[in-house]
Amino acid sequence: MPTLTVPSRFNGPPTSGQGGYSAGALAAHLAGPAAVSLRRPVPLDEALEVRAEDGVEHSDDGDQGPRRDGGGGPRIAATTAARAFDAAGHLVAEAVTAPPLAVWDAPPVSLDAARAAAARFVAPADGTFDHCFVCGRARHDGFCVFPGPVAGTDLVAAPWTPPDWAADGDGAVLPEFVWATLDCPGYFSVHGVDQTLAFLARQQSQIIAPPRAASASRTRAGASLLKRCRSSFT
């Protein structure tokens, strides 16, 4: 049975996995675009059992299951799911295949504008995320992604230079780290002003082309959270 373990260094809140990293690690068990829902805090350094579930095909006449006779109405594509359970049998997270996201159609944020936005970063006052490996100011071994408001827009942005350890042998950043880096800007795009404490509940990300290690990238979010990454908070 496959398992998923979030190492303690990849925390978001002090005692649980960073939401985007956890979601991306589970999404890797599916082929193609996926949406992941976190049902409870993801434990650190604990092997979660991953159960894959083949989808059920539905036809417009209400039948379910694989069709062998070629009859009935047109079939809707099957959904595949992967669910992660802790040792007590509690559902921790679930991933389902999802339609591709809409293409980003807004003007890009320049690297200079992203750097200027990061200078306006304000961390949550209560310190819950001080040690988040993506956006925590106390994490000098983390990604140091500090999203701030982009002047004259409803976006937040920050520059990001992926470290070598976040990439595969060819220098492409691993998907779970891309998901992680998209999570925190989503929070600050919604709660960067009011500083309401919130946690990732659901994330859908689609990696069109992986960023490369040790090259400056920009992570940005706005009212629609990138259109490449839709996240909701609870």
- Tens of pLDDT, residue by residue over 74-111, are 444 444 899 999 999 999 999 999 998 887 787 889 99
Residue 214 has a pLDDT of 81
Mean pLDDT of the chain: 83
What's the pLDDT tens digit per position in 53-84?
A: 876 443 334 443 333 334 444 444 444 899 99
Average pLDDT rounded to a whole number, residues 172-182 = 95
For residue 162, pLDDT over 80 is answered with yes
Q: What length does the chain have? A: 234
Task: Give, as one character, the DSSP assignment of residue 26.
Answer: H
Query: Could you read off the pLDDT of 7-30 as tens digits, one per residue?
Result: 999 999 999 999 999 999 999 999
The percentage of residues in the chain with a pLDDT greater than 70, rounded to a whole number, is: 80
The residues facing 3 across adjacent strands are 49
The pLDDT score that the predictor gives to residue 217 is 61
Q: What is the pLDDT of residue 222?
A: 43
> Going by CATH, does the domain composed of 111-233 fall within 3.40.50.2000?
no
Question: Where along the chain do its domains lie?
Answer: 3-97, 111-233
The pLDDT, as a whole number, for residue 60 is 39
The predicted structure's pLDDT at residue 6: 98
Task: Match domain 3-97 to its CATH number in 3.30.1360.120, 3.30.830.10, 3.10.129.10, 3.40.47.10.
Answer: 3.10.129.10
